[in-house]
Amino acid sequence: MEHRLQILIVMITYLGLLIMWGIYQGRKVKNDSDYAIAGRKLPGWAAALSERATGESSWALLGLPGFAYASGLASIWTAIGCLAGIITAWWGLAWRLRDEAEHFQINTFTQYIAKKHPEMGKWIRIIASSTLVFIFFFYVGAQFLGGGKTLHTMFEIDPKIGMLVTALIIIPYTVYGGFRSVVYTDVIQAIVMIIALIIGPIIGIITIATSPDIFANSIPAALSKAGAGHNSLSGAVSGFAAGTMIMGGLSWFFGYLGGMPQLSMRFMAISDSDQAKKARNIGIVWTIFAYIGALSIGWIGLALFGPQGLADQEYVMPAVMMEIFPPAIASILITGAIAAMISTADSLLILSASELSENLLDNSKSSPIKNKLNRSRLVTAILAVVALAVAYFSSSNLIFELVGYVWAGVGSTFSIVIMYSLFWKKYHGRAAIITILAGIVSWVIWIAAGLENIISSRISVFIIAGLAGFLATLFIPKKEVKTL
């Protein structure tokens, strides 16, 4: 009870300051460009830390440590896939997307694709924006659900009340300050996250080495004692099953190639080329330390509690922190894990609102609100309420199942579109539309047919969308734009 009270006090203080910080940053928003993409004037350090907080969120502090705790060494393949994708994105794509965003003066992810292929720009806006807004409804709803679940587990409050609390934290500064407020609150999350992921493993290794009555006194000993499944890079399987497992982990690489809009928007918002280089260095170094730390925390949890010691594997990080730190310090780091979840929810919310406001409503003659900034704020508020309602009244299993595959449907599909748009001059608007449709349709069919257990949809969608875009570029002529 004492630990819960300390965590609650720290959490209220932390999140209260976070809301005030977000609202303060929102005061600097003067127009729709500031609201949607921070005027494309982000310093490199802010863009890098925000992109990392958004890209990892609860995955780095809850998901990956939990996966490492449950699967042992086999979790390395997922970490390698993610790390390779992140490094590739920062090294090869970030500065290119920044330059393209400046060249085309874009405010949203879909606007870039549409302006890159203006002959089909209208249809690209409609199809791509509608797809992203629809899918991200559920994605934002899942973050509300995750917040409710976390608060329920830690404080035993009703999960639906927890969802409302999560929404009340996110909505004020996101509606008021848009992308700018989201980015600068993400910076705080990224700092807390990396502190937890660096200090936690160091103290954890010292703790297990000096504690007598625990499962194991080192990470290698814990992996060995937990059984062959934990101490094998193939998860104690062989042949096709081992190949499928390894490829499934490595397949996370494909989603990082520009295809996740909430990440690419951070690249596009960087102010200049010099800042892009600084952002690249910060983003890559942060990721290397974070992934080593996340895996280590999972394995330290194995040493402390044994393979059957936790009822929910995804709470290994809070359990480890409470075990190795005094309650006051553990409370701050655990609050960082909860706040990390918020960094995804607010990013997805503002991205969806910007796509709807800038690409669908902006071209509608019937739009009743002519001031773009006010309209963007209103749309953000409405989307937040709708996403909360979706989470509140829908089956949590249904939503989480959908979100679990979003990295394939959105990430793998739009990664192909972005890669072709950046590196293939012959790629055109008609091919872009076919790529998007092929990726989304194949994603739905693949999941519905139950093929996910054979080959990850992150791989299949990337290949199918890539092949569709390639063939469409070669065999379907580019639509000619009439000029006067």
What does the pLDDT read at residue 331?
A: 81
pLDDT for 418 beyond 80: yes
Residues 6+ apart with CB under 8 A from 12: none
| Beta pairing partners, 270 | 42
Least confident of 158-162, 199-203, 289-293: 158-162
Reported as a single tens digit per residue, the pLDDT across 48-105 is: 999 999 888 777 887 889 899 999 999 999 999 999 999 999 999 999 999 999 999 9
Q: Count CA atoms closer than 13 A to 21's CA, side-chain side.
A: 14
Question: Three-state DSSP class for 42?
Answer: strand
| pTM: predicted TM-score of the whole model, two decimal places | 0.91
Q: Which residue has the higher pLDDT, 308 or 367?
A: 308
Residues of the chain above pLDDT 90, percent: 52
Residues 6+ apart with CB under 8 A from 484: none
**Cβ-count burial 297-313 (b if 16+ within 10 Å, e if not):** bbbbbbbbbebeebeeb
d(CA 418, CA 207) in angstroms, rounded, equals 46
Question: Three-state DSSP class for 270?
Answer: strand
Section 298-305 average pLDDT: 96
State the DSSP code for 43: -
Per domain, the residue ranges of the chain are 2-396, 405-484
Reported as a single tens digit per residue, the pLDDT across 178-212 is: 999 999 999 998 998 899 999 999 999 999 999 98
pLDDT for 400 beyond 60: no
pLDDT for 284 beyond 70: yes
Distances, alpha carbon 245 to alpha carbons 31, 260, 310, 454, in Å: 48, 23, 24, 9
d(CA 124, CA 113) in angstroms, rounded, equals 7
How much is the mean pLDDT over the chain? 87
pLDDT for 481 beyond 70: no
pLDDT for 148 beyond 60: yes
Structure tokens at 422: 């950046």
Torsion sign over Cα 283, 253, 112, 30 = negative
What does the pLDDT read at residue 374?
A: 86
Reported as a single tens digit per residue, the pLDDT across 240-254 is: 677 888 888 888 899
Q: What pLDDT band is residue 369 in, cutting at 50, 70 and 90?
A: very low
What does the pLDDT read at residue 163?
A: 84
Q: What pLDDT band is residue 12 in, cutting at 50, 70 and 90?
A: confident
Pick the CATH number of 2-396 from 1.20.810.10, 3.30.365.10, 1.20.1730.10, 3.60.21.10: 1.20.1730.10
d(CA 107, CA 149) in angstroms, rounded, equals 34
Helices (H) and strands (E) in the chain, counts: 21, 0
d(CA 143, CA 475) in angstroms, rounded, equals 42
The candidate with the shortest Cα–Cα distance to 183, out of 89, 61, 281, 45, is 45
Least confident of 301-305, 357-361, 479-483: 479-483
Per the CB < 8 A criterion, the answer to whether 284 and 87 are in contact is yes
Secondary structure (DSSP) of 91-142: IIIHHHHHHHHHHHT-SSHHHHHHHHSGGGHHHHHHHHHHHHHHHHHHHHHH
